Structures are given as C-alpha cells and as structure tokens.
Structure 1
C-alpha cells in the first residue's frame, strides 16, 4: 500500500494520517501533532481518503462471531474488517488493528491474520488477568507510597528505588511513576519517608563505588633481611584514642652538636611488593576508608597486625633519619630498615608528657619547624575538629582539643616527607611527589574563624608528579607523603621505591609511576568523598537528635546567605539574614534534610 495523502497508518501504536508522501512522508499523529517519518517506521492500514483522525470512531460489529466463523483459517485485515463491520473503511481498519493489538481473538499482521484457538484464548485470558492483577497491585503500591505508607510485601517493589539510592542504577520506574525526579537524593528521601530506610542508613560509600569489604588476600611472611637495631631508643607512637593501625613513631637522639630525629614508619613494602596481588588491591582501593561506623583498611588485617608499630614487642620499620644542628636546622637525611621497640600514647597522654624528655625537645623542634614553614608562606589553619563515632546506631561527637602534642606529630611527619623527597632527589629515586600551587595571600596574623575559613578556601588541590615541586600550603620546597604506607597507596609506592634503592633493585619506571599516581589519586578521591559525606550524614543524624541550642559563628557571607559554623559539631550550614562574618549566634535545628546532606537552622539569640 502506497503512502499517499489521506492514507491511514499506525505510528508507535497510534493512528496517523498521511499528509504528504515521498521519501520522508509527513504524518499527523493522533494527539501528537505533525512529524516527518521514514516509510519503514509506519504500518499502512487503509489507502484513504481519511479526512480527519476524529473520524476513526469504531463502527458497530461482532468480532466474537467473526472469530467463530474463521476458526482454523486465515484472513487479511481488509477481509476481517468487511466480515466484522460490513465495510472496509479507515474506521473499520483501525478497529481491526485494535483487535490485533488486544490479541485475545486474533494475532498476526494486516496481510495475514490468524484466529486464536480456544486453548490459546484461554491462555491469553489467564495471562491478561494476571497482568491486570499485577497492574492493580502496582497501582495500589504507588498509592501507598503517595500516602507515605509501606506494607511488608511492598519491599521487593522498592528494589529499583534502592538501586538508585545506592548508585547501582540511574533510573527508577517507581519514581518515574510517582512523577518524582529520578535522582539518588529523591530515592533516599522516599525510602526514608515510607520507613524502608531509617536515618542510620549511610548510602555514600556504596553510592560512590567505594569497597567496604575487608581485604582477604593471603599475606606473605616477613623476609629475613638485615635491619638496623634501634630497640635501645625510646620510640613513641602517638595517635587518637582507639586507633587500630599505628604506622608512625618518633625517636630522638642527642648528638655532640645537635640532634638526630628518627621517624619510624611501618614497613608495609616489606610485604606488599610492586604489582603483587596485594599491591594491585591496595592500588584499586587507594586508601583506608575511615567512617564513623569504623575503618575499612586498605591492607589485610593480618598486615596491620604484623606491621603496626607497637602492636608487637618489636616492630619492623622503615626509618627516616634527620640530623639537626643545635638550632634544629636539618643537616643530613637518610633512610634505613630498622627494628624498633614502640610505646603507644594517645595525644592526651603525650600532652601531659610534653615537659618530659624526649617530648620536651621534640616540642621545641616542632615549634622551630612550624615557625620556619610559616616564614616560607605555609598556610596555618586552625578550625574546630570533631571525632564522630557510631556504635549500634548511637552517634557520639567528641570535640578534638587543639593539643600541642598533635603539632609535634604533624611537624615531625612533614619533616619526614621533606626528608624523603630530599633523599630521593639526592639519589635519583623516582617518587610520587606532592605539590601545591601558590594561593591568594591572607593576613599572616589571622586568628579569627572567618579568617581561618577564608584561608582554607584559598587552598589549591594537591598535584602529584614524578618530579619535585614546591608545596605552597605546607611551606616546603619539596614533599613526599610517606608516613602512612598502611593507609595510603602513594605512601606505599614511595616505600617500595625506597626499598628498591636500599636493596639495589630496579625502581618502578617513571611512566609506571605516573600510572600508579593516576590510579591511586582517582581511587583515593572517591574514598575521601565517601568519608566527607558519611561524616556529614552522621553529624546531621546527631543534630536531628540534639537540636540545640548550639554555638555558631558566621564565617562567610555571599549575597543573602551566610555560612555559619556550628563550632561544637564542626558543621557548616547556610543561614539567611543580615549577618556579618564573626557574628556569634545561638542556633537550633529546625529541619534536617538527610538525603540533601543539609539542615535548616534558626537563630534563637
């Protein structure tokens, strides 16, 4: 049948009238306007002329009687139209097509239509009834969701919503049917509203594709190799209370004209060799995942138990040596495989011992190092910090006091990073150098929270390369992160390269180094984002249970909205009003938006 003007065709299950023929005919579609289509995309039904689609009113007829007459035979659309409706017109042709689409009496195409057998009709009717019953159940399910209700048997029907909320899908048939946006946030909100999830459900690690399963690969035995025995030196591993993976410790020796500072680091590369299964798994993960619910280590638990400093009587270490003159200026750096005897302290315990050796001298060294970095433009940022932990759905938020013992450890670790970078440069060792571009300068005497907030905003992203470059934020001319090889993959890579040098083995080549840097940076970025969002999620859960009042400080203002920092929660929120930076407020939580990771607070004076 040719596609001439006035012909009746079917396009995407709808009747359409041909307006003009040709290679790309124009058609008028019922309820959808005009459109040019390819001839193969339409099904001709009647040559016309059809003056209007409104004329397709079904004529009277008896399809059941026609089925009885035609049982066991075949026919065409034109013949069936004449048999059922007495004439072949556009209206009767469309009516027969609807019989075919219904499928209970006939099936086929316009040129060959076959009546169903009684058995086929019974099967079709049963299938149709089941489909209709399922459609009714689905509509009842959607009605319950609209009311915020959920029956126990509804849970499987929410699978597509949960998949979207967890980042395992990009669409949701249920949300689309409800007329809601198909986003993870909308899915999360619906699951909370109907009670399928509660506030303790943290979707972010899964949504961001971060592995939360423990590493279960087998661990090799520690190699028997020469190590410098430093067990005679007191070595202090200072960490947060409850830390389970101590990977650095400090020792100090007096020299005739200065000091020898040792930064001992867990010797992870002794067990995790380049391109081994464990190395590839650590590279895939990028870093240990620290959540309020607990940590998911980058390495097997057995590796932490074997390598953690202070977990055994004597620990293997890769130790970074920095010789300092009497004024605490670095003179010489070195790296060695060692054995150390470590005592573990919390930051609070170390704070109490700052007046005793060796911490008293370490404190003076740290103060000198910090002053030197500040003189080279380092960005000193002091903002409130908290530790959020979750046990059995209960959230605990603990403010971390700005202890000087933390600065002692931080300065020592940064000195170690500079020393490793210097050692690598002196010996031609390819290493993953961390660099940071210069940033907008702020008042060096800044002390207020708004000033500190502005400082933090000015920081540029850390860049990684196989060649040294300045790290502006730290105020160091070169730097290699190297004090957490059990927790950060690039630290592990640095250790693998240092070990290759010490053993006079080939290094990982620079192109391979760059590939490792790229893979680890991408993976660890996902880990850090999962940590940030999980921390904010649980902090908001805590805020929903403890609505205030809380102490708040306005730290920034942009347009009508101000950024306010809840100091006891280290939580930043937006607040509208005529509020100047530095204003101190008493705030209460008015509304918590967990899926949006936001909250609305009100000023109560």
Structure 2
C-alpha cells in the first residue's frame, strides 16, 4: 500500500517529537544498528564483489528528493528506431551483503526503511545505504543493469538483466529536472524520460491500472496555529515512477516465464471499498459519475487541488491486502496485482526494501540461463512473511503519525462543530462509523444515537483530539 508521508515546514514541535518517540517504542521500531553490523558494513564497503562487465560509459543520472542519499536507481534513455532503449541501473546490495552475515541477519529483522518527520530508520547501515552501495555521482558502483526495449506505443518488448559496473553523472532532484524540462534545457535522456513516461501512463490508463500520485503532507505553522497542506507531486515524479513500474513488470514476466520468483500481488477490491471511496468523494465535493471506473476516476484527479490530494490519500485503501507470493516449479493461481492490472515484482529499491535483493538475484539468473542461487531458493518462502509483517509495521507507523498530526491540527477546537459526510458505518454497531470533514482533510470516529446515515452530509461535534493517543472523535448532531 502506498505510504502517506508527513513533513514539517519548520522544526518538529516537542509535543509531536515526544509522541513519535512513543510510537516507535510501541511498534518496536529498531534503534541504532548493533556495533557488529556497523563493523561488517564498514568491511563490506571496502571489499565489494565487483562484476567484470563495465558499462560506465552509459551516462546515468539519479533523480530523487534533494536530501536523499540512499540512491537505488539511475536512469538513461535513448532512441532506438521508432522506439526506445531504457537503461536502468539498480544498486547491487548483494555485492556487499552475504547470506547469513550480520548485515543480512539485521536486514531480515528490519525488512524495509521506515520514515517519520523527525528521523529515518534505514534497512542497511548508512555506510552502505548512503555510502558504498548508493549510486552517488561520479562513483563507480556495482549495479543490476536492466536494459528494456520499449516500442513506439510505450510497450516493453524485450528485457535483459545483468550485473555491471556503472557511474552516475549527476545527482538530480525532481524540481530541478522539471524546471529544465519546462524550459527546454534538459538533456535528451531526460526529454525521453518525459516521452516514455507519458506513453507508459497512457498504457496504464488503457489497461485500467492505478498508480497513485500520493501527495506529501506538510504541517505549516502560522500565528501559532498548525495547518496541513498537500504537496502535489511534480509530473516528472510520475514519469520516473513509470520507469520503475516498467522494470517491475518486466521482472514479473521473467519470473513467470522461468516459473520461479516472488511477486507483489493484490486481490480485486470489494464493493464496500468502492462505496467508502464514493462517500469520501462526496464529502470532498468531487463528482464520481456513475459507470466511471477506479482508474478513470483516479486518473482524473489533480494532486495540485487540495480536495483531490485528500482523495488520492484516501484511495490508498485500494492497495490494502497487497502481499507477496513466492513460487517455484509452476506459476501462482492468482499472480496479478489488481490495482496495476498486471503481474508485478519489487526489484528497484534494494537499499530500502529487503525483498528486492531476492528478486534481483532471480532475474539475473534467469537472464543468464543459470541456476538461481541456493540461498535464494532456500529462503524464498520466508521472505513474503518477513515483508508482510514489515509492511504491517510500516503502515501502522504511517497511520499513527498521520493520526497524531490530525489530532494536533484540531486539538484546540474540541467542542466545535463541523460539516462532513459519513463514509463508513460499523456493520455490527450502526451507531458508530467514520466521518470525513468537508473543510479539513481529516477523518475520525463518529457516534450517534441512531443508525448513522451512510454517504449523507451531517453536522458533527468534535469531542476528542488527543495527540498522545493519536485519536480524533466526533458525535453526530441530530
């Protein structure tokens, strides 16, 4: 499920910092790395296993937020006839981490990097994730090099995946790349990123897929009051994401053909989920015409519009129930990721996500017509369980932080009344449910003296807003 990131425009207030420390204790979020893991990372950083293939002539660049140092991906695109060749270099974590070593053991406990407004809890020690394994500019690095042929319609037609040495030419950020593209001064490769990204977005819409451009939330302080603003993703962020999705789909197709792998899967959503989202759209005064699919509705949302940004955040529930499916000697009965309308695998973020090290090894072996390493085969069934547990922790972490911020936004308004719409009703206790406020991007628990009117506009009174408990509660005004 896509995560909703919260940032603070200024220093995090102490009341929120204290609450986030409590959240980390409750969820048992790891603290610093044990000394043995740091020692192993330092040793690995100085002695990586380097591949023979040298592709440092490819003019890769990375595109990330300005403060990112854990650079997983570098891209270069060139024309090939009436189509394109996409070169995508992914950090090769396995060049530094061996099965069963202290770094590997610790990474299996962590599963993925966790994010909070006041700190980042990384999967790997910084000596690797922000140093020797990161695709930093002007540094020769071991990588998993994906080469994908894309036709004039944006469809991938061929793929190869092998280990190679690469060198990024520049550490770019989204705002800078967007500015250069808009001004017409971007490199040819970046102009082709826009071209291919738009084609892939059209292909996504045609197959009915959904890729949520989740806006970041930023807490802004003004005259002693906190407000919540959404930062809409730039178009280039979507185009860059499409290259990652293209690679993940290519990886899934390799695995399906080779009958071995770990897929990211998601069952079809239920009718009650659509009902809840339709009610949320009503609360935000966003039309959802009858007969319009999820994909058509979501593709029509503009993240620069605050109500649409809030709707996109609500739509993350479409990804609820996503999991990982490992298989060998056959293919899964249900291999598809329903939101993407395609088979899909995670392979592009190994510095921040454990499973990508396994899937990358499988794809490299399949492309070389070689045996998948024994350590991968022996632990394949374990990885989905680790990842699903870590995903639950990440989502609980996200929900707790969002709940904390929302409670802080209205903490001084207990007793005030608000307009909203009932978006969900408890099947067992119809006097309890969820209300979405019409003027704030906030949902909260609501109770009434009679059955709540699902999907209907209501007036509610704020009865609780507790930052420490991360709770917001309302009662229905008859």
Q: TM-score, normalised to structure 2's length? A: 0.71
| Equivalent residues of 1:379, 1:455 under 8 A apart | no
Q: Higher relative CO (CA 8 A, sep ≥ 6), structure 1 or 2? A: 2
**Partner Cα separation in structure 1 for residue 470 and residue 107 of structure 2:** 30
Tell me whether 551-560 or 295-304 shows the greater mean CA deviation.
Answer: 551-560
Match in the other structure for 1:425: 256
CA distance in 2, matches of 1:309, 1:567: 43
Distance 1:482 1:472, change over 3 A: same
CA RMSD of aligned residues (A): 3.9
Cα distance in 2 between the residues matched to 1:382 and 1:531:
17
For residue 380 of structure 1, report the CA deviation from its aligned partner: 5.1
CA contact (8 A) 2:27 2:393 kept: yes
Q: Is 1:341 matched up with 2:171?
A: no
Per-residue CA deviations over 1:365-414 (Å, capped at 9, x if unaligned) read 22222222233232354665315699xxx999662213211211221111
Go from structure 1 to structure 2 and tell me whether the alpha carbon gap of 1:223 and 1:563 turns closer, same or farther (over 3 Å shift): same
When residues 367 and 287 of structure 1 are mapped into structure 2, their CA distance, relative to the original with a 3 A threshold, is same
Say which SS state the counterpart of residue 334 (structure 1) adopts: strand
Q: In the alignment, is the contact (CA less than 8 A) between 2:63 and 2:74 conserved in 1?
A: yes
Q: Which residue of 2 aligns with 1:265?
A: 90
> What is the match of residue 284 of structure 1?
109
| Alpha carbons of structure 1 residues 232 and 375: separation in structure 2 relative to 1, 3 Å | closer
1:292, distance to aligned residue in structure 2 (A): 1.4
Counterparts of residues 196-215 of structure 1 (less than 5 Å): 200-201=17-18, 202=20, 203-214=22-33
Contact 1:293–1:389 under 8 Å retained in 2? no
CA distance in 1, matches of 2:419, 2:34: 41
Map of 1:288-327 to 2, 5 A cutoff?
288-304=113-129, 305-310=131-136, 312-327=138-153
CA-CA distance at 1:498 after TM superposition: 3.9
1:571, CA displacement in angstroms? 3.8
Structure 2 distance, partners of 1:384, 1:403, is 10
Q: Cα–Cα, structure 1 residues 410 and 236, in superposed 2: closer, same or farther, change >3 Å?
A: same
Query: 1:481 — aligned with what?
Result: 346
SS of the aligned residue for 2:396 comes to: helix
Map 1:31-180; keep pairs closer than 5 Å. Answer: none
| Aligned residue number for residue 399 of structure 1 | 230
User: Following the alignment from structure 2 to structure 1, what is the Cα–Cα distance between the partners of residues 361 and 413?
Assistant: 47
1:427-468, Cα deviation, whole Å (9 max, x unpaired) = 45x322111112247622425759767754454411211235
Task: Specify the alignment match of 1:472 in structure 2.
Answer: 338
Q: Which residue in the other structure is 1:225 paired with?
A: 51
Q: Which residues of 2 match residues 497-576 of structure 1 at below 5 A? A: 497-499=362-364, 506-508=373-375, 510=377, 512-541=379-408, 543-544=410-411, 554=421, 556=423, 558=425, 563-564=435-436, 570-574=441-445
SS where residue 474 of structure 1 aligns? coil
Q: 1:364 aligns with which of 180, 183, 195?
A: 195
Shift of 1:422: 2.0
Offset of residue 348 of structure 1: 1.9
Find the structure with the greater CA-based Rg: 1
Distance, in Å, in 1 between the alignment partners of 2:190 and 2:470 is 41
Q: Distance in 2 between matches of 1:499 and 1:284?
A: 25
Q: Structure 1 residues 273, 378: closer, same or farther in 2, change over 3 A?
A: same
CA contact (8 A) 1:553 1:566 kept: yes
Alpha-carbon distance in structure 1 between the residues aligned to 2:108 and 2:75: 28
Provide structure 2 residue ranges, at least 5 long, that are not aligned to the other structure: 1-13, 275-291, 302-307
Whole-Å Cα distance in 1 between the matches of residues 340 and 138 of structure 2? 33
SS at 2:17's partner residue?
coil
Q: Which residue matches 1:354?
A: 181
Task: Tell whether the 8 Å contact from 1:436 to 1:463 is kept in structure 2 after alignment.
Answer: yes
Number of the residue aligned with 1:438: 268
The 1:457–1:518 alpha-carbon spacing in structure 2 relative to 1, beyond 3 Å, is closer
The answer to whether the 8 Å contact 2:323/2:388 transfers is: no
Inter-partner Cα distance in structure 1 for 2:386 and 2:468: 29
The 3 A distance-change label for structure 1 pair 360 and 598 is same
Q: Distance in 1 between matches of 2:52 and 2:151?
A: 29
**Equivalents in 1 of 2:214, 2:444: separation in Å?**
15
Q: 1:422 to 1:562 in 2, by over 3 A?
A: closer
**Take 2:419 and 2:136, find their aligned partners in 1: how far apart are those partners?**
40
Bigger mean CA deviation after superposition, 340-349 or 301-310 = 340-349
3-state SS of paired residue (1:232): coil
Residue among 398, 412, 420 paired with 2:243: 412
In structure 1, distance between residues paired with 2:17 and 2:143:
39
Indicate the residue corresponding to 2:210 in structure 1: 379
1:583 Cα deviation from its structure 2 partner: 6.8
Alignment correspondent of 1:44: none
Q: Distance in 1 between matches of 2:456 and 2:163?
A: 50
Q: Kindly tell me: are residues 519 and 452 of structure 1, through their superposed partners in 2, closer, same or farther at Cα, counting changes over 3 Å?
A: closer
Measure the CA separation in 2 of the matches of 1:395 and 1:238.
31
State the secondary structure of the residue aligned to 1:290. Answer: strand
